[in-house]
Amino acid sequence: MTYKNAFTTLVCIAAMSYSTALVANDLEEVGIDLGGSYEVGLQAAPLGSDAGGSSKQRFTLNLKADMNKLLGLENGTLFFQYQNHNGEHGVNNIFDIQQFDGLDDPEYDRIHMFWYQHVFLDGAVRVKIGKVEPKSEFFAPENARNHLGFSTERSPTIIAQGPPSMSINTFLKLSDSFTFAMGVYDASWNSGRDENTFKLHNFFDANEFAIFLEGRYTWEQGINGLPGGVKLGGWRLEGDRDRFSGRTVDGTDGYYVVYDQTLTENGIGVYAQYGHADKRVSALSRHVGLGMQWKGPFQSRENDVFGAGLSTVKFSDVSASPFSKGSETAYELFYKAPITDWFTLQFDVQAINNPGGQGAEDVVVSVLRGTFSF
**pLDDT computed for residue 104 by the predictor:** 84
Give the three-state DSSP class for 23.
helix
* Cα-Cα-Cα-Cα dihedral sign, residues 284, 154, 148, 42: positive
Record: fold of 3-373: Porin (2.40.160)
- pLDDT-derived band at 247 (thresholds 50, 70, 90) equals confident
pLDDT number for residue 93:
82
Could you tell me the pLDDT band of residue 153, with boundaries at 50, 70 and 90? confident
Q: What is the pLDDT of residue 79?
A: 98
Residue 5 scores a pLDDT above 90: no
Q: What percent of the chain has pLDDT over 70?
A: 93
Q: Determine the pLDDT at residue 18.
A: 53
- Which amino acid appears at position 17 of this protein? S
Q: What is the pLDDT of residues 157-199, one digit of tens each?
A: 999 999 999 999 999 999 999 999 999 999 999 888 888 899 9
Cα 234 from Cα 252, distance rounded (Å) = 11
Q: Letter for the amino acid at 138?
A: F
pLDDT in tens, 198-209: 999 999 999 899
Q: What's the confidence (pLDDT) of residue 52?
A: 85
Q: How do the domains of the chain map onto residue ranges?
A: 3-373
Alpha carbon distances (Å) from 266 to 201, 295, 298: 46, 7, 10
Amino acid identity, position 84: N
Kindly indicate the confidence band of residue 21, based on its pLDDT and cuts at 50, 70 and 90: low
Tell me: the pLDDT tens digits for 278-337?
999 999 999 999 999 999 999 899 999 999 999 999 999 998 889 999 999 999 999 999
Q: Which has the minimum average pLDDT: 9-23, 71-85, 236-250, 303-317?
A: 9-23
pLDDT at position 12: 58
pLDDT in tens, 34-69: 999 999 999 998 998 888 888 999 999 999 999 998
- C-alpha 306/C-alpha 303 separation (Å) is 10
Contact 311, 276 (CB under 8 A): no
pLDDT confidence bin for 348, thresholds 50/70/90: very high
User: 87 burial class (0-12, 13-18, 19+ CB within 10 angstroms)?
Assistant: buried
User: In the 8-state DSSP scheme, what is residue 308?
Assistant: E
pTM, full prediction: 0.89
Scored b (16 or more CB within 10 A) or e, 314-330 reads bbbeeeebebeeebbbb
What is the 8-class DSSP label of residue 325?
A: S
